[in-house]
Chain A
């Protein structure tokens, strides 16, 4: 018996070296042109930027060409994604669709919808949000109660989704809606995935301001909103079967360990060329964690490329990754050489901005996309404990 989860080494194919340089050159150019600033000063949402990325062929990279994709590998996609994130490029207008919504439509969507929607996503023209959480259904995803009732030619939706990131800027939502009650045998039964056009009459999006003062997530209210039959995704009542592989994509990517990375970069800048032993040791430890996580995350991309569904391995990466990125700002805070009034020329602003951002977003990192508690439950199940 060997219970250890395997993270087989992945060697990035040679074509990714060139691709990486291409992405870096593009990002440098965009920074110089003022499209975005690497310290996040201009926000993370830019439709203009997303269209440029789409034009480069870097959205929907792994999808078939007939749907506007580029038939490239998961590893090439990985390289593009991590370069964008490391530079803090404003990818929010396309990242959800690229990572999650597009693959779901590709796998379970109806043909006419695939032909209509996927090419637009790949061009960077469509922003998606994910309608999962509800006021009484958070970690307990399968308790969702927002209803879709069959009507002539489609479905009528009533209820509320909450904590929906980007809903106010999205063109579409992929929503998990109740179409039947759960059964005694299977409490996950009765939920169905739908494509929701956010301009549909009867949908109201209300902002929920988060603790950083930003408008990111929302409450979305459905009041007799009509969805045509063509917007049904997959099988009625059977969404629980479709949801699991989606999570392997969502949970293992670079976005699960890189969010607070700029704080580490600025710590290195402040440390200078010859840091104290203590500071060097602190930096080294964080870099060791980061590099090992990247290796594991890359390994999951390799498994996806090989056609596997490594959902437990993805949960391991997300648990380790989000704990790392969440703890990082506090490590940085206590390692940083203290400056006062005596060194007016130090890089204070840049450092403080990165640390402030990292500190403020830290709490959400182990909540969004599956809480730490949920992830550890998944890992425990993988170990045969439950």
Chain B
């Protein structure tokens, strides 16, 4: 069992979400109501800038702290761009660009994303399904000036944003950058692949948090709900399903830890991220299915909050490369090394 953490940053995040991120807040956000007091409290605590160094206006905390905060945010299905603002802070930090206040997001989020910085200093290109673009004040854009990778900071005001949503009802908007003049541009060695790897590590933390939540909800529901004269928790078939769910939660948690570690080095370890996103993504699907089975018809209603976590699990597992994409890539890495290098590859991290 997890003990209460002695990490003050995590405690702060947990308190804020407990107070200001109940099921109603999540439902209201899906209707388009910006959770003003939640975001305000987060900003006041400095959490969105966890990864930004002091000199660029942030908290300068360790990567691990930010990842731990994201796991808590995942537990609460926080309907705000906390993960995206953290990622934007990380990306801007690579380019030593000062981080503005307010909610932020990043673009492009796909491996084949391509935004150009043209000769007149404006951007050109489109990015699809940018998380929370409509809510963000600025977007940290990974772009190219010729063949040189750069990071550009762009204000969203005046940008054509066409709204769409994820299957969790969260904003995933298409953004046209053509003609936009960035507020800052600097070279940064981070390529699109590394950005996608980092995004995968971020989503894995949220997935792990949401899975922890649905395990709790499912166990509690099984203890509370009686059928055939006893709590359904007493039926072996239900117990075994919950045992499988607990295993998937544990595996996703281990995978999220592995991905976070993979981001700690100067270059993100791609193989480790691939392993983690395949396993974590799979756990998201298997876990959500069991949680719904245990909750019966009640869990299929909008009124019950189970879908806050499960719909996000289905959405997050798809972003920054789904299981199929990463599995094929991992398989190609393994094949290129050859059969006799498989075991050394598996044990290389330790």
- A and B: interacting chains: yes
Q: Annotate A288-304 by CB proximity to B: 1 below 8 A, 0 otherwise.
A: 11111111101100000
A380 and B250 within 8 A (CB): no
Once the chains are docked, how many angstroms separate the CA of A385 from the CA of B323? 32
Check B2 against A2 for contact (C-beta < 8 Å).
yes
Q: Is the CB of B246 within 8 A of A7?
A: no
- Most chain B Cβ neighbours within 10 Å, of A3, A16, A319: A3
Residue of A nearest to B240 (CB): A376
Shortest beta-carbon distance, B121 to chain A, in Å?
Answer: 40
Q: Could you say which residues of chain A place their CB within 8 Å of the CB of B343?
A: 86, 261, 265
A273 touches B219 (CB 8 A): no
Task: Give A313 to B2 CA distance when docked, in angstroms.
Answer: 12
List B contacts of A385 (CB < 8 A).
219, 222-223, 233-234, 238-239, 242
Instruction: Please determine whether B335 and A268 come into contact, CB atoms closer than 8 angstroms.
Output: yes
Distance to closest chain A CB from B314 (angstroms): 19
Cα-based distance from A16 to B349 in the complex (angstroms): 12
Supposing A279-B331, A290-B346, A383-B246 touch, asked if A2 and B239 sit within 8 A by C-beta, the answer is no
Please report the total number of B residues contacting A with Cβ < 8 Å. Answer: 58
B:221-269 near A, CB below 8 Å: 222-223, 233-234, 236, 238-240, 242-244, 246-247, 249-251, 253-255, 257-258, 261
Interface size bucket, A side? 35 or more
- Report which of B249, B257, B324, B330 forms a contact with A4, defined as CB distance below 8 A: B249
Residues of chain A in range 266-293 having any CB-CB distance to chain B below 8 Å: 266, 268-269, 271-275, 277, 279-285, 287-293
For A293, the chain B residues whose CB sits under 8 A away are 251
A interface SS class: helix
- Chain B neighbourhood of A291, CB < 8 A: 258, 275, 279, 346
Whether a CB of chain A sits under 8 angstroms from the CB of B326 is yes
- Interface positions, chain A 293-337, Cβ under 8 Å from B, are 293-296, 298-299, 313, 316, 319-320
Minimum Cβ distance to chain B for residue A352 (Å):
15
A268, A274, A293, A384: most-surrounded residue (chain B CB, <10 A):
A268
A56 proximal to B (CB < 8 A): no
Does the CB pair B219–A384 fall under 8 Å? Answer: yes
Would A273 and B331 be within 8 Å (CB), given that A5-B246, A376-B243 are in contact?
Answer: no
Q: Are A288 and B278 in contact (CB under 8 A)?
A: yes
- Per-residue CB contact flags for chain B residues 44-58 toward chain A (1 = under 8 Å, else 0) read 000000000000000
**Separation of A291 and B324 alpha carbons in the complex (Å):** 17
Q: Which residues of A contact B261 (CB under 8 A)?
A: 9
Q: In the complex, which of the residues B216, B242, B324, B350 contacts A2, with contact meaning CB atoms closer than 8 Å?
A: B216
Q: Please determine whether A2 and B212 come into contact, CB atoms closer than 8 angstroms.
A: yes
B342 at the interface (CB under 8 A from A): yes
For residue A355, give the distance in angstroms from its CB to the closest CB of chain B: 14
Whether B2 and A380, one on each chain, are in contact in the complex, defined by CB atoms closer than 8 angstroms, is no
In the complex, what distance in Å separates the CA atom of A291 from the CA atom of B211? Answer: 20
Does chain A have a CB within 8 A of B119?
no
Q: Do A284 and B327 have beta carbons less than 8 Å apart?
A: yes
A202 to B342, CA, bound (A): 49
Across the interface, B2 reaches (CB within 8 A) one of A4, A271, A285, A382, namely A4
Q: Is B32 positioned at the interface, with any CB of A under 8 Å from its CB? A: no
Docked-complex contact A12 and B350, CB < 8 angstroms? yes
Is A296 a contact partner of B331 (Cβ separation < 8 A)?
Answer: no
**Does A264 sit at the interface, judged by CB under 8 A?**
yes
Q: Which of A1, A20, A284 has the most CB of B within 10 A?
A: A284
Is the CB–CB distance between B219 and A294 below 8 Å? no
Which residues in window 297-350 of B have CB below 8 A to A? 323-324, 326-336, 338-340, 342-343, 345-347, 350
Task: Please list the residues of chain A having a beta carbon within 8 angstroms of any beta carbon in chain B.
Answer: 1-7, 9-12, 16, 20, 82, 86, 261, 264-266, 268-269, 271-275, 277, 279-285, 287-296, 298-299, 313, 316, 319-320, 373, 375-377, 379-380, 382-386
